[in-house]
Amino acid sequence: MGKPLRNQGRNLTPRFTRSEIKEMEKLLDEQRGELVDESFCQKLTEKFNALGRDESRAIKVKQVQRWFQSRLRIQVMETTPSPVDSKETVVVLESSSDTLKDSDQKVPDILELEFEAKSSRDGAWYDVGTFLAHRVLSSGEPEVRVRFQGFGPEEDEWVHVKRAVRERSIPLESSECHKVEMGDLVLCFQENSDQATYYDAHVLEIQRKQHDIRGCRCLFLIRYDHDRTEERVHHARLCRRPSNRAHNVAEM
């Protein structure tokens, strides 16, 4: 079997931070007509990259353009929803809200959350662009069909809701290294000669170091869950799990 298409160029699509997404969402409301203009996206890209991103995490102009294009399409769909899309979204997410309503937790606005899904092809996690459909297997297990952000329909997959869909992991910024502790589940960027993808890993050891003008210099010894290999990495390779909510959709 050939290497999954999704591995190609994965290291060229680093994740936006929460602060970057908030800024783009604000621009989405204020400057709709200019958002996909290349010069506008170029300036925004340069601004993001100048704020502490190293070369391996640099954002590209096309990535910014695709983000705005995707959000604009979603807004159009929300104003003229198709019966299928509207129905399926409710079915997929309604159990999440019900679970929280029965607890003491505050119910989040589910439509504002972002998700990631685990591919059955390589066991790696990718950002979800869109939930396309929902089905229940004969065993009673729910599945959703997802389109991964930045990939076309040929890469769509059916994934298990409870085991392979969860709230999106958060890129670990230099000032947030203290939020990661030994034993934590993290998402780590693994790069080798065959592929470059995000996999689940656990933190085995942390070497805390004094931050300098370059930012965090701490080293994290992690063990990947899928192949049990160990590696020492800097914060730029890590994404942390949200600490204030459960780890997957079905548990929210």
The Cβ-side half-sphere exposure at 170, using a 13 Å CA radius, reads 19
What's the domain range around 40?
5-79
| pLDDT at 41 exceeding the cut of 50 | yes
The sheet carrying 165-167 orders its strands as 157-160, 142-148, 125-136, 115-118, 165-167
| pLDDT at 49 exceeding the cut of 80 | yes
**Inside any domain, residue 195:** yes
**Inside any domain, residue 186:** yes
Helix axes 61-79, 18-30, angle to 10 degrees: 60
What average pLDDT does the segment 39-60 reach? 81
Last-in-domain residue among 147, 168, 189? 168
Q: State the pLDDT confidence band at 36, using cuts at 50, 70 and 90.
A: low
**DSSP run (H or E) holding 44:** helix 38-50
Those residues with Cβ within 8 angstroms of residue 74's Cβ, 6 or more apart along the chain or in another chain: 130
| pLDDT at 95 exceeding the cut of 70 | no
Say if residue 41 is in the same domain as residue 65: yes
Token pair recorded at residue 96: 């999440």
The domain that holds 130 is classified in CATH as 2.40.50.40
**Inside any domain, residue 250:** no
Do the Cβ atoms of 172 and 180 come closer than 8 Å? yes
Last-in-domain residue among 28, 56, 79? 79
